[in-house]
Amino acid sequence: MATLAENVVVAEDQTPVEEKVNGVEQKATNGVNCENGVKVTAEPVLDKVQEEMKAARKEAECEAPKEEVKKEEVAVEVEPKTGVSFPVKLDDGKQLLSVGLRKKSMLGMGIKIYGFGMYTDNEKLKDLLKSKIGKAPAKPTKEMYQLVIDSDLATMVKLVIVFSGLTMNMVKKNFDEGLGASIKKLTGGKKNEELANKVMGQASDEIKLTSGSVIEISRLPGYVLETKLMDEVVSRVESELLCRAYINMYLGDDPFDKDAKEKFGMSLLSLF
């Protein structure tokens, strides 16, 4: 009959041990060191986990400033008569040169229809002014305004509706009248209603325009006038006359808002 000491020896001899690999003794599968029977601790594993956690924290700290930059608010300019805010710079780089108000006489009253902001590519506008005019004049001149009207420089007018009772049909009528009159001025009295109607012609009368609705009308290089209604393109018309007539409504001899035109002129002077 085997003694207690002999049983212990047999048990130890039966402990599974992995073979040496490349001359290095492997650890037992049950967590006991094969050489001295001492249980192996998990400290190396814990150290590795802690290092990974520290690295993750450092990476998160590095990413934090980027999030703050994303949340940084873009500067705005407020149109004083309507309270509408316009960003001073758009995502495509165009910059705000002027803000104003479009009013319409209805029943003997001046009704506020929309606030507007005028944006241009300032670098290209600067080059245009310097090449055609040279030195800055003492004050804005008709030549400066006419240069902007006649060019095909990328220009966008952002309209923000403030009159809550406005319908799409009213907007179409307003644009047709305004553009029609502007076209007549540029053509010596000749009408072109068909051309004027193309700006809003494709917009559905079913569209509801509430206060805060946005319309963006852009003159694109190549004399293309593009109209977006709440981010949806409703028309794109290639016509030099139409482009000139549209900008003329804001910078011509009889602008929608004289103060806005003057401010646009002062912005032009600042580019010299």
User: What would the DSSP string read from start to end of 231-258?
Assistant: TEEEEEEE-HHHHHHHHHHHHSSS-S-H
List the beta strands (DSSP E) in the chain.
Answer: 76-79, 84-87, 95-106, 109-120, 155-161, 214-220, 224-229, 232-238
| Residue 238, pLDDT score | 97
Tokens of residue 192, six digits: 């072109």
CATH 3.50.50.60 for the 76-270 domain, yes or no: no
Question: Among residues 72, 74, 94, which one has the least CA distance to residue 85?
Answer: 74
pLDDT tens-place values along the chain, 272 residues long? 444 444 444 444 444 444 444 444 444 444 444 444 544 444 555 566 567 666 766 665 655 444 444 546 789 999 999 999 999 999 999 999 999 999 988 777 888 999 999 999 999 999 999 999 989 999 999 999 999 999 999 999 999 999 987 888 888 888 888 999 999 999 999 989 899 888 887 788 778 889 999 999 999 999 999 999 989 999 999 999 999 999 999 999 999 999 999 999 999 999 99
| Residue 265, pLDDT score | 98
Look up residue 27 and give its amino acid.
K
Question: Among residues 123, 144, 130, which one has the least CA distance to residue 272?
Answer: 130
CA distances 100 to 160, 174, 264, Å, are: 11, 17, 10
Residues in CB range of 85: below 8 A, 6 or more apart: 76, 77, 78, 79
> Is residue 159 a contact partner of residue 215, using CB atoms and an 8 Å limit?
yes
pLDDT, tens digit (0-9, with 9 covering 90-100), for 23-74: 444 444 444 444 445 444 445 555 665 676 667 666 656 554 444 445 467 8
Q: In whole angstroms, what is the distance from residue 163 CA to residue 168 CA?
A: 12
